[in-house]
Amino acid sequence: MTKQTLNFQAEVAQLLHLVTHSLYSNKEIFLRELVSNASDACDKLRFEALNNSALLDGDTDLQIKVTLDKEAKTLTITDNGIGMSQQEAIDNLGTIAKSGTKDFVSKLSGDQKADSQLIGQFGVGFYSGFIVADKITVESRRAGLAANEAVRWISDGGASGGGAFEVESITRAARGTSVTLHLRDDATDYAQPWKVKSIIGKYSDHISLPILMEKEEWKDGELIDPKDEKGGRQPGGMVKTGEWETVNKANAIWARAKKDISQEQYDDFYKQISHDSEPPLSHTHNRVEGSTEYTQLLYLPGKAPMDLYNRDKTAGIKLYVKRVFIMDDAEALMPTYLRFVKGVVDSADLPLNVSRELLQESRDVKAIREGCTKRVLGMLEDLAKHDKAPEASTDGVTDVVSEEDKALVGKYTRFYKEFGAVLKEGLGEDFANKDRLAKLLRFASTSSDTVSVSFADYKARMKEGQEAIYYITADTLAAAKNSPQLEVFKKKGIEVLLMTDRVDEWALNYLHEFDDTPLQSVAKGAVDLGKLQDEAEKKAAEDAAEAFKPTLAKLKEALKECFLELGQRGFEGFGCVLG
C-alpha cells in the first residue's frame, strides 16, 4: 500500500489536544502507559498462542526493550507481542470508535494529578506519548502475518494543525510493535538512561515480563597525547556495551512471599493495575491450598470509580493460570456487589484455554469466587472493627493499641462513604453472606446525623421492652428527620434509623431481622410499639380504631383496588395509609 494520510476522529483530535496541554506537569506517566501497553500486547499473544502455537514462530521469550538515542533525541519501546495489522493500526491509533474516548474527554477535571490517572482507566494511554514527543512513529507486524504485511504509522499529534496521521505498508522482520517518540526540546532528559530506569522502577517494576535496556559502562577518555600516558585525557563518559540488562524485577508480586514485599511495593502494584494515584485502603494476599489451589492479591480502593453504579461494569480482577495472563475483568471471580475490588487471582487448576463461558460453569471458579468473597468481607470486618479510636477506660487508662491498628482508624468510614450503597446490593445477591453483610452496614439515625450507626450499635441502645429495630426510608436525610411518622418515637425517645440510599428500600426486602430482632418500617402501616406503649395509649388507639371503622369501611368500598389501613401518626392523631 502506498502512503496514506488520514484524519483523526474528531474526538481523538480533541483528546490529543487535552492530553498534551492538560497533563504537561506530570509528563513521566507516558512511560508507564506505553510499557503497560507493551505488556498487554505480550499477554494477548500468549493467550492467542494457546490455541495457535504457530503465532510464536519459535520466538517464545516475550520481553520489552527500551532503546534511547541521545543524539537523535528518541526513545523507543519495542515488544514482541501480538502486533497490529494495517487496519488495526488505523482503528486503534487514529479512529477509535470506543465510547471510552468520549467519556475520557468529558471526565477531565483540570486537576492534573487526577486527570493523569484517567488515561489508563479509559484505555487511551498511547496518546500520553505526545506529552513529551512532537512526533510518534509506530512500526508493527501482527503475529501470523508475513514480513511484508507490516505497517508504519506516523503522527505529530496535530501539532502542525492538520490533525492527521500517515500510514503505509512496510517490511518488518519480526512480529510485535515499536513505538518511537521523537522527544520535544524540553523533554530530552527522557533520553537519559538514569531517568528512564528511575521511572520504570517507580511505575513498572512489577511488570512480569523483563524490561530490557542497553547496558552502559564508564570509559575513560582518550589521551590527548597518545605518547604521554601521564598526560591529560579527553572527558570520559558512559558508553554502550552492546549487551542488554533487565531493569525491572520481572517477577509477579503475588508469587512472592509476603515477608519479601514491602507496603510500598504492594501500593505501587495496586496503582499499576488500577491506574489510581492514591494507595488502597487495604489489601489481602493469600495462597489457598486444597482441592482448589490459587493465589489471590486483592485490594480495596480508597475512592469510588465514576462508573461504580453501572452494574454492567465487571470486577477489576485479572485472571492468571500458572502465571500466564488469561483475561482482564474476570467477572465470574467476584460478585457484582463487590465490583469495586481490584486485584489478581492466579489459579493452579484452571485450563490455560479457559473461556468466559467456561468460567461460569467451573466448580473451581465457584470455589475461588467464594474464597475471594470471604477474604474481601474479612478485610471489611477488620476495618470496621478498628474504625473508631479506642476510648479511655473508666480508670482513665486507654488500652495499648498497636501502630498497625491505629493506622486503621477511620478507614472503614472512608470506605463506606464511597462504597456503602453498592455493598447493600449484597443483601439480595449473596444469601450465604447476608448476615456478615448486615453487620457491615451503617446508617444515620435520630441519634446521629453521621452515617455511622450499625445494627449492633442500635441494638445496644434499645429501650427496655423494645422488640424491633425501627427505620424509615426517604430521599434525603432532611426528609427522613422531618417525617411525621417519627413524632411518637421522638416523644418516647426511641431511636429510628434514617435510610436515604436509593437501594435501601430494595435491599431491606431481603433483610427482615438482625440477630433475631425484627426490622420494622415506621412508615408502613400501623406500628406496634408493644411494651413501650402504656395502657392509656393502647386504649386511645383501640377507641380510635373503633370510631373510624365505619369511615374505613366506606373508603374500602369506594377504593376497592387500594389497600387501606388505619395507622398511627402519633398518639395525638391518626391517619389512613393507602398503598
Nearest to 285 by CA among 255, 264, 314, 318: 255
DSSP 558: H
Is the full-model pTM beyond 0.75? no
Our CA angle for 108, 109, 115, nearest 5°, is 60
pLDDT value of residue 513: 96
Give CATH 3.30.230.80 domain extents, the chain: 253-385
pLDDT value of residue 531: 67
pLDDT tens-place values along the chain, 579 residues long: 678 988 887 777 777 777 766 655 578 888 988 998 898 899 889 888 988 999 999 999 999 999 999 999 999 999 999 999 999 999 888 765 443 445 555 655 555 555 555 555 545 678 889 989 999 999 999 999 999 999 999 998 876 666 789 999 999 999 999 999 999 999 999 999 999 999 998 778 778 899 999 998 877 767 666 666 666 666 766 777 889 999 988 778 899 999 999 999 999 889 888 878 889 999 999 999 988 999 999 999 999 888 788 776 666 898 888 877 778 778 889 999 999 999 999 998 888 667 777 777 788 999 999 999 999 999 999 999 999 877 655 555 556 567 777 888 899 999 999 999 999 999 999 999 999 999 999 999 999 999 999 999 999 999 988 999 999 999 999 999 999 989 889 988 999 999 999 999 999 999 999 999 999 999 886 676 766 666 556 666 666 667 777 877 777 777 766 655 555 544 444 445 554
DSSP 123: T
pLDDT value of residue 397: 56
- Residue 182 CA: distances (Å) to CA of 15, 154, 159, 163, 455: 20, 11, 13, 17, 61
> Which fold does the domain 442-532 belong to in CATH?
Rossmann fold (3.40.50)
Architecture per CATH, 253-385: 2-Layer Sandwich (3.30)
Angular region, 290: left φ>0, alpha ψ -120 to 50, beta rest: left
Nearest to 384 by CA among 414, 423, 350: 414
Give CATH 3.30.565.10 domain extents, the chain: 4-221+238-246
> Which fold does the domain 4-221+238-246 belong to in CATH?
Heat Shock Protein 90 (3.30.565)
Question: How many CA atoms, within 13 angstroms, populate the side-chain half-sphere of residue 397?
Answer: 3
Is the distance from CB of 382 to CB of 408 less than 8 angstroms? yes
23-28 — which CB contacts under 8 Å span 24+ positions?
23/112, 23/115, 23/116, 23/119, 23/128, 23/131, 24/112, 24/131, 25/112, 26/112, 26/113, 26/116, 27/131, 27/132, 27/187, 27/190, 28/190, 28/199, 28/202, 28/203
pLDDT value of residue 228: 64
pLDDT value of residue 571: 40
The C-alpha cell that represents 2 in the structure block: 502506498
pLDDT value of residue 1: 62
Task: State the DSSP string of 184-240.
Answer: -GGGGGGGSHHHHHHHHHHHSTT-SS-EEEEEEEEEPPPBSSTT-TTS-B---EEEE
Helical H segments across 362-454, by residue range: 363-385, 403-406, 411-423, 426-429, 434-440
pLDDT value of residue 94: 77
